[in-house]
Amino acid sequence: MSLTDNKVPVTVVTGFLGSGKTTLVNYILNEQHGKRIAVIENEFGEVGVDDALIIDAEEEIFEMNNGCICCTVRGDLIRILGTLMKRRDKFDYILVETTGLADPAPVAQTFFVDDEIRAQLRLDAIVTVVDAKHLSLHLFEEKAEGVENEALEQIAFADRILVNKTDLVTEEELVEIEGHLRTINASASVVRTHMSKVDLDWVLNVGAFDLQRVLEVEPTFLEDSEHLHDQSITSVGIEETGQVDVAKINNWLGWLLGEKGVDIFRMKGILNVAGSDNRFVFQGVHMLFDGQPDRAWGEGEDRVNKMIFIGRNLDRDEITQRFRQCLIR
Amino acid sequence: MSDSLTTPISATEQVLAVLPDYVSDVDVSPDGRHTVAGSVSGHVCIAGAGDESRIIEAHDGDVVRAKWSPSGQLLASCGIDGALRIWDRSGSMVAEARHKGWATDLAWRTSGDEVAAGIGRHVVRLLANGMKTVQHEELPATVECVTWSKDGRRLFAGHYGGVTMLQGSAKPVKTFRWKGAPLAVAASPDGKWVVTGNQDASLHVWKVADGSELQMTGFSTKVLLIAWSHNSQRLANAAMNEISEWDFSGRGPKGSKPIGMLGHSERITGLGYSPTDHTILGSVATDGSVCLWRPAKSGNSMLHSHQTRHVLSTMVWSPTSPRMICGTSNGEVVSLTFEEKSEKGS
C-alpha cells in the first residue's frame, strides 16, 4: 500500500462507549470542509454533518479459511465499501467507526483479504480514543478465561491513541495512563485531548499501513516496564545489528506467523537482509503479512534490524533468541 | 443472420441509453425487444426497440438489480434503500415491499409474476398485485444472493454459513451448511445442483437430493460470477480475469480439471452462455474487452475478442439473438451485436 496511488484512505476509529469516538468523528467532519467524507458507523451514534454520507452498518463477522491462513473479516464492510467504490463521485475519505466492544482485527483484515477493496482503498490508520477517567477500570477489568478485554485490544491495534477527557483526571494520573498505554503498545503515538480535539494531520493520512512508512514513529521500547497485574498484551521490540540470512529469516517469519499469528495483533519491521543493499520492510495483522524490498540503505546509515510485535502472551526471549539465530555470524 | 456463430465474427456497438452513473445491472426482455438497466445513481432505465428510453427514479440510493419478469410485461428492481419494487413497462410502480437493510439480489420465479429478493437477513417475496406471498423467517446472516429452481418450486438464498432452501412455508426446508460466505448462487436448470461462488475464492457445490458437497478452490480472487449452460452439463465461473469451465455431465466434476480461459487483462464483470448458441460463453471485463468462447479441452477456446472503450460493469445476453447488453462504469448501456463476417467482404 502506497500513499502515492489514488486509493481512497480509510481511517478506523475505535474506543469504548463514551470515550469520545463519535465526538472525534463529528470533529473531523466539521473541520474537513469541502472534502467528501463517508462515515460507516456501527452503533447508533450522533454523527451528523450535512454534506457527509452516513451509513449505519450492522457488524457482521465472517470467518475466512483461505488455505493455511485463517482470519476474520467484516462482511458488512465488504458490501458497503464495494458499493461506495462504484460511484463516479468517489469519496475523498472514509471513516469507519466501530462499536465500543469491537475487536479491530476483522476491520483491519478486511483491507488485506478482499481483493476489490485492496485495489481501491487504503487502510490508513487505526485511531483509538480512550477515556482518561475510566481507562483504568477497563484495563484492570477481570475477564473470564477466554473472554477478550476489548479495551486492551483496541489499544494494542492502534496507530494513534487519543487520551481524551483529560480535564477529568490529574497530571499524575495522565502520566500513569500514558505509561500503561506504552507498555501495551510501544509503537502508537499518544496525544492528550479534550473533547477529542486533535490536529487532523495527526489522525488523517497517517499512512500507518504504508510499507514505506514502517517504523516512521520510533517505537519506545521499555525494557523493564512495570506490568499491569493482568497484563497479557505487550509490545516486544527487537533491535539488532547484523545481516540476516534469507532462508533462516523466512523460516523465522513462517514460525512467527504460524505459531504466534493468532496472538500477534500488529507487527512492523525493517530487516537488513544479506546480499541486498535494500531495506526489507514488512508489516502485518495476525497471520496476514505484507512485505517487500524498500529503498536502498543510505551511505553511512546504520543497517539495524528493527521490529515491533504487539500481542498477547508474547515471549520476548523466545522471539528474540530465535531471531538472533537468523543473523549471519 | 444465423443464430449460430462461426468465425470470423464482427461486433457492432451501439449505445442504447445513458444513466447518470455506474450501471449495476442490465436485463433484456424475453422477446429481446426491451432492455432495462439499473444504476448506482438510483435510476432505472427502460429502453425499447425503436422507442426513446425512459428513465425512472426507482430507488433512494444505489439500484442493485433490475430484471424483467418471465412474461416481459413487468420489471422488478431492488436497492440499498431496502425496497423491492415492481414496475410496468411504462415505468409506473405496481407493487412494493420494504425491509430493514440493503437489498442484495432479486430473482423472478419462472412461473407466475412473483419476485424474491434478499433484503437484510430476509428473503422477501412479492406478487405483481402487491401481495406478499410467504413471509420467510429471518435467516442467520445477511442474504447475499437468491435464485429459484427452474421449476419455480424452490428458492435458494446464499448467506454466510451456507445456502438455505425455501419453499412454501415460513420455515426453511433445509440449509446446506458450510462455513463460508457465498456471493453468488445458481441452481442448475435440471434442479440437480446448487452452486455458490464465494468470498474465500472458491466454488461450493451441493447435490440438492442428498446434500453431498464438493468444493473447488484455488481461484485468485473471490468468485462473483457463475453461469450454468442450458443443459446443466457445464458450469462456468470467473475470478479476477480468469474463467474456468467445469464438466457436470455424468457423475459431476469431482476430481476433474476445469477448462481455463484467459483473454481479459482485468476483472471480469459479466459472464454467461449464449441463449441462442448454447456452445458459446460470453464474458466482459473492466478493461473494456469482450470475449466469446467455445470452451475446448485442448486447443484455443477463444472464438472472438472485441475491444470497447468502456469500463464494462455488467453483461447479459439477449434471449433471442446473438447480442449482448453491457453496462459501463460511466452509466452507458451498450449493445453489442455479433455477426459472421461475410467471406467476400464488402
Q: Which residues of B touch A (CB under 8 A)?
A: 21-22, 24, 40, 62, 80, 101-102, 104, 141-142, 144, 160, 179-181, 199-201, 217, 220-222, 240, 267, 313, 329-331
Of the candidates A65, A87, A115, the beta carbon closest to that of B40 is on A87
Q: Model ipTM? A: 0.91
Segment A72-95 shows an average pLDDT of 91
Do A87 and B22 make contact, defined as CB atoms within 8 angstroms? yes
Asked if the Cβ–Cβ distance from A87 to B221 is below 8 Å, we say no
Nearest CA in chain A to B330: A88
Q: How far apart are CA B93 and CA A321, in angstroms?
A: 71
Ordered DSSP codes for A184-233: H-SSSEEEE-STT---HHHHSS--TT-GGGTT-SPP---TTPPPPTT--E
Residue in B25, B60, B142, B199 to test binding to A, most A beta-carbons within 10 Å: B199
Q: How many DSSP H helices and E strands does chain A contain? A: 10, 14
What three-state secondary structure class fits A167?
helix
Please check whether residue A66 touches B, CB under 8 A.
Answer: yes
CB contact under 8 Å between A65 and B22, yes or no, is: no
Which of B21, B62, B181 is opposite residue A75, by nearest beta carbon? B181
> Cα angle at B81 between B78 and B86, to 5 degrees?
30
Over 60: is that where the pLDDT of A3 sits? no
CB nearest A83 (choices: B62, B267, B329): B62
Q: With CA atoms as reference, report the closest residue to A186 among A311, A68, A271.
A: A311
As a whole number, mean pLDDT of residues A219-225 equals 55
Nearest-neighbour CA in chain A from B274: distance (Å): 27
Q: Which amino acid is at B341?
A: K
Question: Cβ contacts (< 8 Å) between B267 and chain A: which residues?
Answer: 116
Residue A233's φ and ψ, nearest 5 degrees, are -100, 125
Whether the Cβ atoms of residue A263 and residue A312 lie closer than 8 Å to each other: yes
Contacts across the A-B interface (CB distance below 8 Å): 59
DSSP string, A235-287: EEEEEEESPBPHHHHHHHHHHHHHHHTTTEEEEEEEEEBTT-SEEEEEEEETT
Confidence of residue A48 (pLDDT cuts 50, 70, 90): low
- Least CB-CB distance to B200: which of A66, A79, A87? A66
Q: Cell 422477501 maps to which residue?
A: B124
A65 with B199: Cβ contact below 8 A: no
Q: With bands split at pLDDT 50, 70 and 90, how would you rate the model's confidence at A219?
A: low
Nearest-by-CA chain A residue for B202? A66
Cβ B22–A79 below 8 Å, yes or no?
Answer: no
Three-state DSSP string of B229-243: CCCCCEEEEEECCEE
The residue of chain B with its CA nearest to that of A89 is B21
pLDDT in tens, A265-318: 999 999 999 999 999 999 999 999 999 999 999 998 889 999 999 999 899 899
Task: Give the range among A56-60, A136-140, B176-180 with minimum mean pLDDT.
Answer: A136-140
- Structural domains for chain B: 34-267 (2.130.10.10)
**Domains identified in chain A and CATH numbers:** 8-209 (3.40.50.300), 234-324 (3.30.1220.10)
Task: Tell me what the mean pLDDT of segment A84-106 comes to.
Answer: 90
Whether A45 has a pLDDT exceeding 80, the answer reads: no
Q: What percent of chain B has pLDDT over 70?
A: 96
At A230 the pLDDT is 47
pLDDT at residue A90 is higher than 60: yes
What's chain A's average pLDDT? Answer: 87
Out of A83, A88, A115, the one facing B222 most closely (by C-beta) is A115
pLDDT, average across residues A251-278: 93
Torsion over CA of A17, A18, A19 and A22, rounded to 10 degrees?
Answer: 90
**Tens digit of pLDDT for each residue in A111-151?**
999 999 999 999 999 999 999 998 877 777 767 666 678 88
